[in-house]
Amino acid sequence: MKTIARRIDVLRSIALFCLLVAISCTTDYVTGKRTFSLVSESQEIQMGSDADPQIVAEYGLYDDPDLAAYVSDIGQRIAKVSHRSNLDYTVRVIDSPIVNAFALPGGYVYITRGILAHFNSEDELAGVMGHEIGHVVARHGAEQMTRVQMATLGLQVGSLVSETFAQYAGAAGAGIQLLFLRFSRDQESESDRLGVEYSTRLGYNAHEMANFFQTLDKMQEQSGQSLPGFLSTHPDPGNREVKVNQLTNEWQQKIEYKPLGKTRYDYFKRIDGLVYGDDPRQGFVENNTFYHPQLRFQFPIPSGWKVNNSASTVFVIQPDQAAFVQLMLKEAATAEQAADEFVKNSGGTVASRVTTSVSGYSAVVMESTHKTKDEELRVLSYFIRKEPYVYSFHGITTSSDFTKYKGAFTSVMTGFREATDSAVLAKQPLRLQIERAPQSGTVRSALKALGVSDARIEELALINGRAPDDRVDNGEWLKIVKD
C-alpha cells in the first residue's frame, strides 16, 4: 500500500508539472511569441517593488538630486522606445564605489556612482542603461526565477521517486539559487542587442558602449584579482566589443540615425565633484578602529579581522570566518525594546540578560542560543542607546567556539564610544575634478602636470578610458582625483 501511495503522489506531481507547462505561458515582448514562464508580469512588478527598499537600505541613495534626475531622465527616455514601454520604470543612483549596474524584474534599474565615475560620455551611460532595461524587457529575471522554480519542482518529484535522492534533495535545494545568480551568456548577448537598439534610436553612439566594455576588461587586467562588479554579474558573452560595434553599424544603417552629438564635456560636467572610491563619511577603518564621522561613533577592531561596511550593516569578520560581529542601527525607543524585538524575531533561547551601561550609554547585554539545521549558534548581543538610535551588536559563532571568541566580541562592543577626534570628524571623501590638459603630450604627463600623484596615474588613466602613454591634446578634458 505504501508503494502504491507513493506512485500516486508521483503521478500527481507529474500531472501538476504538466498543468503548469500548459497554463504558464506569457508573451516575449521582443519577439511577440508565446513563451513559458512561472512568473507573471504582476509577480515581476511585485518582486521588484519588494526588493527595492532592501537595495536602498543596503547601499543607500547617492545624495545628489541633480545627478539622480539626469540619470533617471536617460533611463525613462530609453524605456519609452523599448519593447516594454508600458511598465513604470524606477531608475536610481546608489551610493556604492563598486563599478556596477543592475536591474530587477518589474522595471527597477540601479546605477552605482562607481560606474558613473568610469563612464567617459553620455553615450556610454545610455548604452549600459539600455542594456539593463533590455534585461527587464526580455524578462531575464523572470526566466531565472522560472528556472529556480522548475529545478525545485524537479527535486520534489525526485524525492518521491527515489529514497536515496530524497536524502540529498534538501542540500541541493539550499544551493539551487546560487546556480542562477548570474545571467547567462545568451541573455547578456540579447541585452547587448537591445541596448544598442534603444540607445541608437535616441541618437546615442553605441560604439561608445563597446569602448566601455574595453575599459572593464582593462580594469580586470589591472586588478589581477576580483572582477569589477559589472563583469561578476554580467558574464562576457565573448567577442562583446566586436559584436556591439557590428550591431551599432547595422542599427545606424537600419534607422534614420540622427546623432545627438554629445561631447565628452557634456557628460563630465554632470559628474564634476562626484564622490570617488569609499566614502569615509559613511565609515572607515584606521589603526584597528572603525570610525563613523557622520554618526560620531567608533569601536575597536580585533587584530586581523576584516570589516565589511554597507549603508545598513557593519560586519567585523574573523580571518577564518569562524565568527563575526554584526552592527545594525535600530529606531527603537530604548535598549530594552530593541532587545525584546531581537528575542521575538530571532526565535532564540535567552541564556542571560542584564542591564548595564557602555561609555555612559544605557545598554542591555544578552547571551542567546539559536539552533540551525546543522548546528547550534551562540550569540553575544549588546543593545546600546545612543541618540537617536539603538546600536545593536551581535557576536555570532558556534556554541563550541563561543568561549574562544567571546573576549573579542566583548572588546568590540564595550569599546563603543563617541567619536571626538576633530581629524576623524572632518574626514572627507575624494571627489572627481574636471580639468583641461595644460599641454599636449601623454596622459601621464598631463595628469602629473595637474597634480595627480604617481601612485594614481594608471588608475586615473583608466577612468579616463586611456592608457598612461596615450596621446592627449592641449585643452582636452580629463577626470582627476587629488589625494
C-alpha cell at 326: 554584526
Most confident of 49-53, 168-172, 181-185, 297-301: 297-301
Q: Tell me whether residue 167 is in a domain.
A: no
H helix intervals, 375-483: 402-414, 422-425, 443-449, 457-463
Does residue 27 or residue 14 have the better pLDDT?
27
Both 301 and 194 in one domain: the answer is no
pTM for this predicted structure:
0.81
pLDDT > 70 fraction of the chain, expressed in percent and rounded: 80
Both 260 and 358 in one domain: the answer is no
Nearest Cα to Cα of residue 121 among 261, 317, 227, 288: 261
Which pLDDT band holds residue 233 (cuts at 50, 70, 90)? Answer: low
Q: Which of 202, 237, 271 is the last residue of a domain?
A: 271
Both 342 and 436 in one domain: the answer is no
Q: What is the pLDDT of residues 364-384, one digit of tens each?
A: 999 999 988 778 999 999 999
| Domain that residue 475 falls in | 432-480
DSSP character at residue 399: G
Q: Tell me whether residue 192 is in a domain.
A: yes
> Contacts for 229-233 with beta carbons within 8 Å, 24 or more apart?
229/98, 229/99, 229/100, 229/112, 229/114, 229/115, 230/99, 230/100, 230/101, 230/115, 232/182, 233/100, 233/102, 233/181, 233/182, 233/183
CA atoms within 13 A on the CB side of 53: 3
Residues 79, 109 contacting (CB under 8 angstroms)? no
Both 240 and 297 in one domain: the answer is no
Span 191-209, mean pLDDT? Answer: 95
Both 390 and 436 in one domain: the answer is no
Which pLDDT band holds residue 482 (cuts at 50, 70, 90)? Answer: confident
Q: Tell me whether residue 403 is in a domain.
A: yes
Residues 413, 382 contacting (CB under 8 angstroms)? yes
Q: Which of 243, 271, 299 is the last residue of a domain?
A: 271
Both 444 and 410 in one domain: the answer is no
Q: Which of 384, 399, 425 is the last residue of a domain?
A: 425
pLDDT higher than threshold 90 for residue 449: yes
41-55, 220-234, 363-377: least confident range? 220-234
Does residue 174 or residue 140 have the better pLDDT?
140
109-123, 132-146, 446-460: least confident range? 132-146
Which pLDDT band holds residue 31 (cuts at 50, 70, 90)? Answer: low
* Total number of domains in the chain: 3
Q: Tell me whether residue 411 is in a domain.
A: yes
Q: Tell me whether residue 402 is in a domain.
A: yes
Both 386 and 311 in one domain: the answer is yes
Torsion, Cα 116 119 122 128, to 10 degrees, reads -80
Q: Tell me whether residue 21 is in a domain.
A: no
Both 291 and 246 in one domain: the answer is no
Residues 355, 297 contacting (CB under 8 angstroms)? no
Q: What's the CA gap between 17 and 155, in Å, rounded?
A: 12
DSSP character at residue 61: B
Q: What is the pLDDT of residues 264-280, one digit of tens each?
A: 999 999 999 999 999 99
Which pLDDT band holds residue 26 (cuts at 50, 70, 90)? Answer: low
- Tell me, what CATH number does 391's domain have? 3.40.1000.10
C-alpha cell at 387: 541618540
Q: Tell me whether residue 357 is in a domain.
A: yes
Both 259 and 285 in one domain: the answer is no
Both 299 and 379 in one domain: the answer is yes
Q: Tell me whether residue 51 is in a domain.
A: yes
Both 48 and 65 in one domain: the answer is yes
C-alpha cell at 48: 521588484
Residues 201, 81 contacting (CB under 8 angstroms)? yes
Span 474-480, mean pLDDT? Answer: 96
* pLDDT of the residue at 145: 60
